[in-house]
Amino acid sequence: MYSFRTTGFNGYAVQYSPFFDSRLACAASANFGLVGNGRLYVLGLTPDGIVAEKWFDTQDGLFDCAWSENHENQIVVATGDGSVKLFDISLSDYPIQSWREHSREVFSANWNLVDKSTFCTSSWDGLIKIWSPVRPTSLSTLQPPGGQLSCTYAASYSPYNATMLASCSSDSFLRLWDPRAGGMPTNSVYAHNGAEILSLDWNKYRPEVLATSSVDRTIKIWDLRFLGNNSSSSASPVNELLGHEYAIRKIAWSPHAPELIMSASYDMTARVWIDSTALKQPSTTFSSGRQPARRPNAGLRSLWDKHTEFVVGCDWSLWGAEGWVCTVGWDEMVWVWDVRSAVVQ
Amino acid sequence: MDRLSNLASQLAPNDASAVSKLLEKHPDDVVIVGAYRSALTKGGKGGFKDTTAADILTAVLKGLIERTGVDPKYLGDVCVGNVLAPGSGVTEHRAACLAAGIPYSVPYISINRQCSSGLMSVDHIFKGIKTGDIDAGIGGGVESMSINFGPGSVSEFSDFLANHEEGKKCLIPMGVTSENVAEAYGVTRKMQDEFAADSYRKAEAAQKAGKFKEEIIPIKTKFIDPKTEQVSEIVVSEDDGIRPGVTPESLSKIRPAFKKDGTTHAGNASQISDGAAAVLLARRSFAQKQGWPIVGKFVDCAVVGVPPEVMGVGPAVAIPAVLERNGLTKDDVDIYEINEAFASQCLYSVLDCKIDPAKVNPNGGAIAFGHPLGCTGSRQIATLIQEFKQYNKKIGLTSMCIGTGMGAAAIITAE
Sign of CA dihedral A252, A256, A259, A260: negative
Write out the DSSP string of B310-325: GGGGHHHHHHHHHHHH
Give the single-character DSSP code of A288. T
Angle at A258 between CA A255 and CA A264, to 5 degrees: 65
With contacts defined as CB-CB under 8 Å, which chain B residues touch A295? 324-325, 327
Alpha-carbon A341 to chain mean position: 23
With contacts defined as CB-CB under 8 Å, which chain A residues touch B329? none
Are B371 and B261 within 8 A, CB to CB? Answer: no
Is B115 one of the annotated active-site residues of the chain? yes
Distance of residue A108 Cα from the nearest chain B Cα, in angstroms: 15
| A192 and B CB contact within 8 Å | yes
Mean pLDDT score, A214-222: 93
Is residue B316 in some structural domain? yes
Q: Compute chain B's Rg from CA coordinates.
A: 21
Per-residue model confidence (pLDDT) at position A344: 87
3-state SS assignment for residue A169 = strand
Per-residue model confidence (pLDDT) at position B263: 95
Is residue B156 in some structural domain? no
Chain B residue set in contact with A, beta carbons under 8 Å: 1-4, 6-7, 9-11, 14, 16-18, 20-21, 24, 26-28, 129-132, 283, 300, 324-327
Q: Which of B10, B325, B329 to mutate to test the interface with A (most CBs of A within 10 A)?
A: B10
Are B412 and B296 within 8 A, CB to CB? Answer: yes
Interchain pair B4, A34: CB under 8 A: yes
Q: Which of A216, A226, A240 to mutate to test the interface with B (most CBs of B within 10 A)?
A: A216
User: Beta strand pairing status for A173-177 and A187-190?
Assistant: antiparallel
Instruction: Give the pLDDT confidence of A92-112 residue by residue, as tens digits.
Output: 999 999 999 999 999 999 999
Is residue B100 in some structural domain? yes
Angle at A291 between CA A252 and CA B140, to 5 degrees: 150
Task: Label residue B357 by pLDDT band (50, 70, 90).
Answer: very high
Is residue A284 in some structural domain? no
Distance of residue B325 Cα from the nearest chain A Cα, in angstroms: 6
According to DSSP, the residues that pair with A251 across neighbouring strands are: A263
What distances in angstroms separate CA A341 from CA A44, A108, A303, A334, one per listed residue?
Answer: 22, 30, 9, 17
Distance of residue A47 Cα from the nearest chain B Cα, in angstroms: 38
Is residue A289 in some structural domain? no
User: Beta strand pairing status for B296-305 and B406-414?
Assistant: antiparallel
3-state DSSP helix/strand/coil percent for chain B, to nearest 5?
A: 45, 20, 35
Per-residue model confidence (pLDDT) at position A181: 86
3-state SS assignment for residue A225 = helix
Interchain pair A215, B132: CB under 8 A: no
Residue in chain A nearest B14 by alpha carbon = A216
Instruction: Give the pLDDT confidence of B304-330 residue by residue, as tens digits.
Output: 999 999 999 999 999 999 998 888 899
Per-residue model confidence (pLDDT) at position A289: 35
With contacts defined as CB-CB under 8 Å, which chain B residues touch A289? 28, 130, 132
Are A26 and A65 within 8 A, CB to CB? Answer: yes
Per-residue model confidence (pLDDT) at position B12: 75
Which is nearest to B201 in space by CA: B252, B246, B241, B267? B246
Residue in chain B nearest A234 by alpha carbon = B26
User: The domain that contains B97 carries what CATH number?
Assistant: 3.40.47.10
Interchain pair B3, A198: CB under 8 A: no
| A65 and B CB contact within 8 Å | no
Distance of residue A205 Cα from the nearest chain B Cα, in angstroms: 27
Per-residue model confidence (pLDDT) at position B398: 98
Is residue B415 in some structural domain? no
Residue in chain A nearest B284 by alpha carbon = A288
Residue in chain B nearest A61 by alpha carbon = B3
Q: Give yes or no for residue A147 having a pLDDT over 90.
A: no
Mean pLDDT score, B120-143: 96
**For the sheet containing A218-223, what is the strand order?**
A197-202, A209-214, A218-223, A239-242
Give pTM, 2 decimals.
0.63
Enumerate helices (H) and strands (E) in chain B, giving the number of each: 15, 12
Interchain pair B3, A35: CB under 8 A: yes
Write out the DSSP string of B21-86: HHH---TT-EEEEEEEEPPPEETTTSTTTTS-HHHHHHHHHHHHHHHHT--GGG--EEEEE-SSSG
**Identity of the amino acid at B319:** I
Q: Which of B5, B14, B25, B123 to mutate to test the interface with A (most CBs of A within 10 A)?
A: B14
Task: Label residue A285 by pLDDT band (50, 70, 90).
Answer: very low
Give the single-character DSSP code of B171. G
What distances in angstroms separate CA B253 from CA A185, B180, B189, B400, one per listed residue?
Answer: 74, 21, 11, 28
Is residue A283 in some structural domain? no
Q: Which of A288, A295, A330 to mutate to test the interface with B (most CBs of B within 10 A)?
A: A288
Task: Label residue A233 by pLDDT band (50, 70, 90).
Answer: low
Which is nearest to B37 in space by CA: B273, B341, B301? B273
With contacts defined as CB-CB under 8 Å, which chain B residues touch A266? 10-11
Q: Give yes or no for residue A283 having a pLDDT over 50.
A: no
List the domain range (segments joined by +) for residue B49. Answer: 29-149+163-410
Backbone angles phi, psi at B178, to 5 degrees: -65, -45
Mean pLDDT score, A127-153: 93
> Is this complex scored with an ipTM above 0.90?
no
Is B371 one of the annotated active-site residues of the chain? yes
List the domain range (segments joined by +) for residue A111. Answer: 2-278+299-341
Domain count, chain B: 1
Are A89 and A75 within 8 A, CB to CB? Answer: yes
Quote the CA–CA distance of B104 and A310 in Å, as a whole number.
64
Mean pLDDT score, B205-213: 97
Is residue B190 in some structural domain? yes
Sign of CA dihedral B36, B42, B48, B51: positive
Q: Give yes or no for residue A287 having a pLDDT over 50.
A: no
Per-residue model confidence (pLDDT) at position A229: 58
Q: Which of A196, A216, A294 sits opposite B20 (nearest CB)?
A: A216
Distance of residue A38 Cα from the nearest chain B Cα, in angstroms: 15
Q: Give yes or no for residue B370 having a pLDDT over 90.
A: yes
Instruction: Give the pLDDT confidence of B33-73 residue by residue, as tens digits.
Output: 999 999 999 999 999 999 999 999 999 999 999 999 999 99
Q: What proportion of chain A, given as a percentage, has pLDDT over 70?
A: 93
Q: Which of B79, B115, B301, B353 is catalytic?
A: B115
Domain count, chain A: 1
Distance of residue B94 Cα from the nearest chain A Cα, in angstroms: 29
Task: Label residue B154 by pLDDT band (50, 70, 90).
Answer: confident
Angle at A11 between CA A8 and CA A16, to 5 degrees: 130
Quote the CA–CA distance of B34 and A154 in Å, as a whole number.
45
The Cα diameter of chain B in Å comes to 82
Is residue B10 in some structural domain? no
Distance of residue A70 Cα from the nearest chain B Cα, in angstroms: 33
| A236 and B CB contact within 8 Å | yes
A 281-320 residues inside an 8 A Cβ radius of B = 286-290, 293-296
Is residue B310 in some structural domain? yes
Interchain pair A196, B10: CB under 8 A: yes
With contacts defined as CB-CB under 8 Å, which chain A residues touch B9? 196, 215
User: The domain that contains A6 carries what CATH number?
Assistant: 2.130.10.10
Provide the number of CB pairs (under 8 Å) joining chain A to chain B: 76
Mean pLDDT score, A148-171: 94
Quote the CA–CA distance of B48 and B386 in Å, as a whole number.
23
The H or E element containing residue A43 is strand A38-46
Which is nearest to A74 in space by CA: A121, A33, A15? A15
Task: Label residue B268 by pLDDT band (50, 70, 90).
Answer: very high
